[in-house]
Every structure is written in structure tokens, then in C-alpha cells.
Amino acid sequence: MTAAGNALIEDDGPRNAQAIVVLGGDDFGTRILKAAQLAESGCAPLVLVSGPPKLMGYEADETIRYAVTKGYPASLFRPLHLNTDSTRSETRAIGAYLREHGIRKIVLVTSNFHTRRAAKLMRQVNPDINTGVIPAADPFFTPNTWWQSRNGARTFLYEWMKTIATDLGI
């Protein structure tokens, strides 16, 4: 069970990059805080924050406001207002933005369970972008105990379904 949980996770470790990219879908702020910590440690000078539109604006803006309340400077972040509905479309839109701005080396930050699939899609859709990935902790998914909670099991099963669909090209 632990091996199946760990198989969802990729961790390339910190590396120097032109930008850190935070994928949308973070309801707990762990992704943006991990990215901010990496930026402050010298990994990259800029954090690009993705996120789709929500009821009161873009998720990216809300996430950045959260990081600022935790003491990180607003100048560290740049929102990416993307109208995407999947990781595949999000990585495509992010790649276009990166190329337009001459960014060719990134660190991708997303939830731990999402790293392997997200990195695979980013590299498939944007082979010209050097992509490393670093996981952010998720409050519901721990690879060593995911089966002990309903939320952990749901996260595990849902991500494996998406991973298989991605592998099939769906």
C-alpha cells in the first residue's frame, strides 16, 4: 500500500531555475508556501502562480494573498490567470506563457500525490522547458498511511484513475 502511494510522488529536489511554477488546485496553501520557501532559499527569483477563475476572482490571486498573510512579499509572486479545466490544459497554457517570457528552466510545485502525473504532462506538452518537480505536503494524503482515512483513500484512487487516463492519452 505504501509503495502504491509512493508511486504517485516525484521529487527532483531543489535546483536553480528561472521560475517556480505553482499549479492551481491548492485549497490549503501548502503549494504556494512550499514555492515561497524555495524562492526565499534562492531556488528562483520568481513564483508563477496558476489558478482558474473562481466565484470571487482567480484562484491565483487568492493564493498569493494567502502567502502574503504568511509574511512573504507580494513582489515574489506573479499570478497566471488561466481559464483551464485540467492539468493537461493548464500545462499547455503555462508552457505558452513560459516561452513567451523566455523562461526555459522551472521548478514545478504541486501536491505530493499530483507530482508524477503533473511533471509527466508538463514534460510531454512542453519538451523544450527543463522541468524539475518538488512536492508540497497534502493534509489528506500521506503515502505511508493514505488508506487509513476516507480522504486519503479518495485522493489515492482519484489520482491513480487520472494517472492511468494520462498514460492512455485520455
User: Can you spell out the DSSP letters for 12-46?
Assistant: ------SEEEE-S--SSSHHHHHHHHHHHTTS-S-
Task: Show pLDDT as tens, one digit a residue, over the chain (170 residues).
Answer: 999 999 999 999 999 999 999 999 988 999 999 999 999 999 999 999 999 988 889 999 999 999 999 999 999 999 999 999 899 999 999 999 999 999 999 999 999 999 999 999 999 999 999 999 999 999 999 999 999 999 999 999 999 999 999 999 88
Q: What pLDDT, on a 0 to 100 scale, did the predictor assign at position 170?
A: 84
Q: Where are the domains of the chain?
A: 10-139
CATH fold label, 10-139: Rossmann fold (3.40.50)
Q: Which three cell numbers stand for residue 97?
A: 506563457
Q: What is the pTM of this model?
A: 0.96
CB atoms within 10 A of CB 103: 20
CA–CA distance, 67 with 54 (Å, rounded to integer): 18
Q: What pLDDT, on a 0 to 100 scale, did the predictor assign at position 131?
A: 98
